[in-house]
Structure 1
Amino acid sequence: MKSTQLVAAARRLGAPHRRALGTAPEPRGARQSASFTLNLFRGQFEPAQVFPYPDALGAEQRQTLAELLPPVEKFFREVNDPAKNDAAAQIEERTLAGLWELGAFGLQVPCELGGLGLSNTQYARLVEVVGAHDLGVGITLGAHQSIGFKGILLFGTEEQRARYLPRVTGGEYAAFCLTEPSSGSDAGSIKTRAELAPDGEHYVLNGSKIWISNGGIAEIMTVFAQTPVQRDGRTVDKVTAFVVERAFGGVSSGPPENKMGIRCSNTTEVYFEDVRVPARCVLGGVGNGFKVAMNILNNGRFGMAAALAGTQRAALRQAAEHAATRVQFGRRLADFGAVQEKLARMALLQYVTESLAYMVSGNMDAGAADYHLEAAISKVFASDAAWAVVDEAIQILGGMGFMKATGLERVLRDLRIFRIFEGTNDILRLFVALTGIQFAGSQLQELMRAFKRPTAHLGLIFSEAGRRATRAVGLARGADVDALVSAELRAPARELARQVLQFGACVEAALRKHGRAVVDEQLLLNRLAAGAVDAYTSAAVLSRASRARRLGLPTAEHEARLAEAWTEEATERLGALAAALGPRAQRHGERLTALGRDVAAQGGSPTRNPLEL
């Protein structure tokens, strides 16, 4: 996706807002939100969607989940064989039949339409089980419901929901068809077209899609195509979403792709040749396809974090068990400090990932409007963390970890795609930074307008001037967060609040220096995105660990140590952000971009082997 499109996507966000903790009233007219990450870019510590940690399940929902978990866990232990699925590059028929019987393909579809009617948090817990056992199966399930027919759930008319949801819960597979050969991250550049037929009752769809999960088996697809629409008296192309049935005719699929990982999931090209799509199958309105696609992807990203939390928990268990029993040099591996540090860092990454997954799902279940940046962060962090955790698990197992018998090499191969699909991590980092910067920029613009009529805005001007002066002389302390966290976590929480304030100053400095051209400063944007990840993940673990203490959980002390360790490291990185955005870092960034241009121009490294003259 191009920078301008990312900014356009950012503008679509909008929601009511609670006042940020310890800050002056928002300038009237500035965009408002309850999102922690959005407010972070203004240097404001907004606790509304972070503290206390979400408790999203009622008694009945907990009971339902307690009844569903045992059979699902038993199924993946005793029926599904991930090694066989991987070797055959397809899921065993008995596994698929069992999953349909369990209702696993319709977890969030309302009960009256054939599904289980689960909340996002319930869904996350079951997906975590799947992620612990077989990511290939997880992709088949997720491609079906997390994105395949999710658009019908989110945007479908009553007629569309009644027509299609019973079918996608009753044995017919669904797929999400967006990516094309010439448009991956740049979703707005798709070439597939749909023209309204002369009868006005059908669209004629032509084009092709690539790398479509479930593409060879799906009977019902959410397809995105360019359509001509009238805008301001002229005809322009806008993306529209359609529900397309294979039975319409003209829909075909290529052979399954031979993939590095998630081999058992079906991935194919899908072709559309003069497909007559009834006008009633337009999803979300003509010309609104980009909004539909982004909302589908945003809505489903928390599930990826939940699945990968399960993957990490399983890998950590395998590594810990091996370290506790393997003896080298007369000592167990678990007694060596280097191995202990590896296990500790793996546990940190798993704890953060899991905390993010259930914080985002809990906020979604509570009706939060602005959770998109947090969902993006959860996907980015989870996919990076899972790779690191499984890689270290293989390292702890040594040569044994490299062998197929342990299953970890398969998991590592499966994991690689998670940093690429449903929004590459690179694009999502830019999305987080650009959206946050635009949110901060709206406040600065309102302040500038206030200075044009100072007598009418004295309160705003003086409060803002005081805040900036305090920050400039190093007296700013950040928000008062003591009441939000347990006693043993107040010190790291205070430091986080202080760094949130400084983060806002870094964002403002970047805006003042670059103005609108900041959209092209990708190295700077990546550093700001990294800071946002550090801040939000710290808030999430502080909140979760404080919940454990409040409830008197037996793991409370261990969770507090995890939260403290993570937050101290993350806030230390945040503290170095100003230097990372300074002149020296800028020179280094310019040097790297120049080197990159040279490599691209030469088609590889321009240096010669040292033995060649």
Structure 2
Amino acid sequence: MKGTKLVACASRCIGSSNRLIAVHSRGKATAATAEAPRSARQSTSFTLNLFRGQFEPSQVFPFPEPLSDDQRQMLTELVPPVEKFFQEVNDPAKNDADAQIEDGTLAGLWELGAFGLQVPTELGGLGLSNTQYARLVEVVGAHDLGVGITLGAHQSIGFKGVLLFGDPQQKAHYLPRVTGGEYAAFCLTEPSSGSDAGSIKTRAVLAPDGKHFILNGSKIWISNGGIAEIMTVFAQTPIEKDGKTVDKVTAFIVERSFGGVSSGPPENKMGIRCSNTTEVYFEDVKVPVANVLGGVGNGFKVAMNILNNGRFGMAAALAGTQRSALRQAAEHAATRVQFGKRLCEFGGVQEKLARMAMLQYVTESLAYMVSGNMDSGCQDYHLEAAISKVFASDSAWTVVDESIQILGGMGYMKATGLERVLRDLRIFRIFEGTNDILRLFVALTGIQFAGSHLQELMRAFKNPTAHLGLIFSEAGKRATRAVGLARGADLDPLVAPELRGAARELARCVLEYGACVEATLRKYGRGVLDEQLVLNRLAAGAIDAYTTAAVLSRASRAQRLQLPSAQHEMGLAESWAEEATERMGSLAGALAPRALRHGQRLSSLGQAVAEAGGQPSRTPHNV
């Protein structure tokens, strides 16, 4: 499948240029001429600038501190009752066995205000910031991911479009309802369009009276689909563009009460069994034109912004899941005696616990770095949010799996709850953007950003006398890099003294990463869209770089504030940085012809397996 099909949002960002080759420049044109380079897009995103080999510290150092005293006090008052509720009222094992949340639990969650955490107080919600929301979601993730999905499907995506794109009338009409007992759902996925959101078939056509759209189609795997009264629905609508009628996706607020809305039976799922998941059908549904969300034809933008805006919450929830699983494993390792020793005295178990703690620490750091930047008004956080989702869902699986391993046979029993958590976790690498798609999204979006800057430089060469500053700036950077004198950004003032060596290595790796991106673009040009093996390796490097920056920043904060855990945090950060930068250092080798030939061989083998409908080779003793 082509890259443009696999991640429409990323490929659309690529634009129409045939020269996706990039280097960064801070130089400015000195004369306005017909051939003056158009200014390349600027950003404070760490990950976007990484693709140019530039270390942009503003969104990573210092670690975000977005909470006011009042907001901290509010969290102090909110967290204990939520913790108590999940410890004493909610029964995750029963929810899982019954494949539904108990009525008393749901009533209690509504009473707590858990279904309207970020809705303004004047419209019935708690008015929490992203960071406050992350903290409460972390509590939920530590106890019951199925309940977490019910809550998240409602507010993180279900009515999030109304919060982000709703006009005053839409907000006033719907937000008090979704905080007052009416469930919401997000209806995007269809049987024939999973990751390829642009290929949806559901259609909405303006009625002859011009007052309604007539909506027809169906959606699949919709969380809260069987209980939602209010839905954000995406459908193709015909619009006039350049004298032609074309289909573009539009977002609608649809009520079940409009008529023609129905849903199938709950799906029988592997995990998150207590969350309601159904198909939803729309048959000649009359949707008022006033219920268009974000403008006709802007549905793709609405959908992507909803998903991008909510991904940090998944990292926060899974940080809580990992913390809970790690606690179980650590308690067992500290008390279980085998061969005359406690498990925690064995080097192999110690390494497992350390790696689990490291993954949890990175996940938690990402969640609060992204939410903190969002609360501080940052606009370019989409790649960082995608990285947080990918890393969190991969890490949570590893941490819970290793927790089961440490508990041994006991961990495999239902009584410990870990087998349920493992089943619940599996969906997180799939929904709200599969990890495979999000890796391509990160790589393609970063490449597009980098490409615009080299185009600026290439245009400058058409009129060199007017743009000497830009040209010489880039020439100097390339020369020092070529002879090994480039040192990268000076991060010493930004990190704890004990972490400066790790920070310097990260800065050096950022420079080398930019060189790898440029070499890749020179080699493939626009054809890089179809080079998924290459894109995945670049995405892995970006994840390593951002996660390293996040933990170095957070651990430095701990040291600066003299937190009791500071030494432990710096140990975790230094260990992660050492491993991550070592992987980044091997990126050039991973993109070398020999490594790529190996990847191409695997691609060919995979294609053969698909075409054979399984393993093409026969068993040795087939008769």
Match of 1:10 among 8, 13, 38: 13
**How many Å apart are 1:9 and its aligned residue?**
4.3
CA–CA distance in structure 2, aligned partners of residues 23 and 225 of structure 1: 41
Contact kept in structure 1, 2:9 and 2:304, CA below 8 Å? no
The aligned counterpart of 2:208 is 198
Q: Give the counterpart letter for 2:64 in structure 1.
A: P
Q: Give the counterpart letter for 1:173 in structure 2.
A: Y
CA–CA distance in structure 2, aligned partners of residues 510 and 55 of structure 1: 37
The aligned counterpart of 1:449 is 459
The aligned counterpart of 1:292 is 302
1:322 aligns with 2:332: yes
The aligned counterpart of 2:20 is none
CA–CA distance in structure 2, aligned partners of residues 214 and 2 of structure 1: 32
3-state DSSP of counterpart to 2:184: strand
Contact kept in structure 2, 1:23 and 1:44, CA below 8 Å? no
Match of 2:316 among 306, 317, 322: 306
Superposed, 1:20-419 pairs within 5 Å as 24-25=26-27, 29-419=39-429
CA–CA distance in structure 2, aligned partners of residues 2 and 195 of structure 1: 30
Q: Give the counterpart letter for 1:526 in structure 2.
A: N
**How many Å apart are 1:429 and its aligned residue?**
0.1
Superposed, 1:556-575 pairs within 5 Å as 556-575=566-585
CA–CA distance in structure 2, aligned partners of residues 118 and 145 of structure 1: 12
CA–CA distance in structure 2, aligned partners of residues 187 and 59 of structure 1: 42
3-state DSSP of counterpart to 2:461: helix
**How many Å apart are 1:307 and its aligned residue?**
0.0
CA–CA distance in structure 2, aligned partners of residues 26 and 79 of structure 1: 62
CA–CA distance in structure 2, aligned partners of residues 463 and 278 of structure 1: 56
CA–CA distance in structure 2, aligned partners of residues 80 and 130 of structure 1: 10
Structure 1's 570 and 23: CA in aligned 2 closer, same or farther, altered over 3 A? farther
> Could you report, residue by residue, the CA deviation over 1:507-554 in whole angstroms, capped at 9, with x for unpaired residues?
000000000000000000000000000000000000000000111111
3-state DSSP of counterpart to 1:265: coil
The aligned counterpart of 1:542 is 552
CA–CA distance in structure 2, aligned partners of residues 119 and 60 of structure 1: 12
3-state DSSP of counterpart to 2:511: helix
> Could you report, residue by residue, the CA deviation over 1:72-128 in whole angstroms, capped at 9, with x for unpaired residues?
000000000000000000000000000000000000000000000000000000000
CA–CA distance in structure 2, aligned partners of residues 512 and 353 of structure 1: 34
Structure 1's 23 and 47: CA in aligned 2 closer, same or farther, altered over 3 A? farther
CA–CA distance in structure 2, aligned partners of residues 594 and 571 of structure 1: 31
3-state DSSP of counterpart to 1:224: strand
The aligned counterpart of 1:17 is none
CA–CA distance in structure 1, aligned partners of residues 600 and 191 of structure 2: 31
CA–CA distance in structure 2, aligned partners of residues 87 and 431 of structure 1: 37
> Could you report, residue by residue, the CA deviation over 1:485-515 in whole angstroms, capped at 9, with x for unpaired residues?
0100000000000000000000000000000
The aligned counterpart of 1:522 is 532
**How many Å apart are 1:612 and its aligned residue?**
2.2
**How many Å apart are 1:459 and its aligned residue?**
1.3
> Could you report, residue by residue, the CA deviation over 1:380-432 in whole angstroms, capped at 9, with x for unpaired residues?
00000000000000000000000000000000000000000000000000000
Contact kept in structure 2, 1:6 and 1:434, CA below 8 Å? no
After TM superposition, the structure 1 stretch with the greater mean CA deviation from structure 2, 499-508 or 456-465, is 456-465
Match of 2:502 among 492, 499, 506: 492
1:579 aligns with 2:560: no
**How many Å apart are 1:25 and its aligned residue?**
4.0
3-state DSSP of counterpart to 1:457: helix
After TM superposition, the structure 1 stretch with the greater mean CA deviation from structure 2, 463-472 or 306-315, is 463-472
Contact kept in structure 1, 2:95 and 2:102, CA below 8 Å? yes
Contact kept in structure 1, 2:51 and 2:449, CA below 8 Å? yes
Q: TM-score, normalising length from structure 1?
A: 0.97
The aligned counterpart of 1:16 is none
Q: Give the counterpart letter for 2:270 in structure 1.
A: M
CA–CA distance in structure 2, aligned partners of residues 576 and 26 of structure 1: 34
1:439 aligns with 2:449: yes
Name the % identity.
Answer: 82
Contact kept in structure 2, 1:238 and 1:287, CA below 8 Å? yes
Contact kept in structure 2, 1:301 and 1:375, CA below 8 Å? yes
Match of 1:468 among 462, 465, 478: 478
Contact kept in structure 2, 1:2 and 1:186, CA below 8 Å? no
Q: Give the counterpart letter for 1:174 in structure 2.
A: A
**How many Å apart are 1:7 and its aligned residue?**
3.5
Structure 1 runs of 4+ aligned residues shifted over 2 Å read 1-12, 22-28
CA–CA distance in structure 2, aligned partners of residues 246 and 216 of structure 1: 10
Contact kept in structure 2, 1:548 and 1:559, CA below 8 Å? yes
Q: Give the counterpart letter for 1:302 in structure 2.
A: F
The aligned counterpart of 1:610 is 620
Contact kept in structure 1, 2:11 and 2:444, CA below 8 Å? no
Structure 1's 26 and 256: CA in aligned 2 closer, same or farther, altered over 3 A? farther
3-state DSSP of counterpart to 1:343: helix
CA–CA distance in structure 2, aligned partners of residues 7 and 551 of structure 1: 40
Contact kept in structure 1, 2:116 and 2:178, CA below 8 Å? yes
3-state DSSP of counterpart to 2:478: helix
**How many Å apart are 1:462 and its aligned residue?**
1.2
**How many Å apart are 1:474 and its aligned residue?**
1.4
CA–CA distance in structure 2, aligned partners of residues 381 and 551 of structure 1: 27
Q: Which has the higher contact order (CA 8 A, sep 6+)?
A: 2
CA–CA distance in structure 2, aligned partners of residues 249 and 273 of structure 1: 8
Q: Give the counterpart letter for 1:363 in structure 2.
A: N
Q: Give the counterpart letter for 1:94 in structure 2.
A: G
Q: Give the counterpart letter for 1:79 in structure 2.
A: V
**How many Å apart are 1:10 and its aligned residue?**
3.0
**How many Å apart are 1:24 and its aligned residue?**
4.7
Contact kept in structure 1, 2:25 and 2:473, CA below 8 Å? no
CA–CA distance in structure 2, aligned partners of residues 460 and 280 of structure 1: 50
3-state DSSP of counterpart to 1:452: coil
CA–CA distance in structure 2, aligned partners of residues 206 and 47 of structure 1: 48
3-state DSSP of counterpart to 1:226: strand
CA–CA distance in structure 2, aligned partners of residues 449 and 193 of structure 1: 43
Structure 1's 391 and 567: CA in aligned 2 closer, same or farther, altered over 3 A? same
3-state DSSP of counterpart to 1:360: helix
In the alignment of these two chains, the number of paired residues is: 605
Match of 2:542 among 532, 552, 555: 532
CA–CA distance in structure 1, aligned partners of residues 461 and 599 of structure 2: 35
3-state DSSP of counterpart to 2:458: helix
Which structure 2 segments of 5+ residues have no match?
A: 16-22, 30-37
CA–CA distance in structure 2, aligned partners of residues 199 and 463 of structure 1: 61
**How many Å apart are 1:2 and its aligned residue?**
5.7
Contact kept in structure 2, 1:205 and 1:274, CA below 8 Å? yes
CA–CA distance in structure 2, aligned partners of residues 272 and 114 of structure 1: 29
> Could you report, residue by residue, the CA deviation over 1:39-61 in whole angstroms, capped at 9, with x for unpaired residues?
00000000010000000100000
3-state DSSP of counterpart to 1:369: coil
Contact kept in structure 1, 2:215 and 2:282, CA below 8 Å? yes
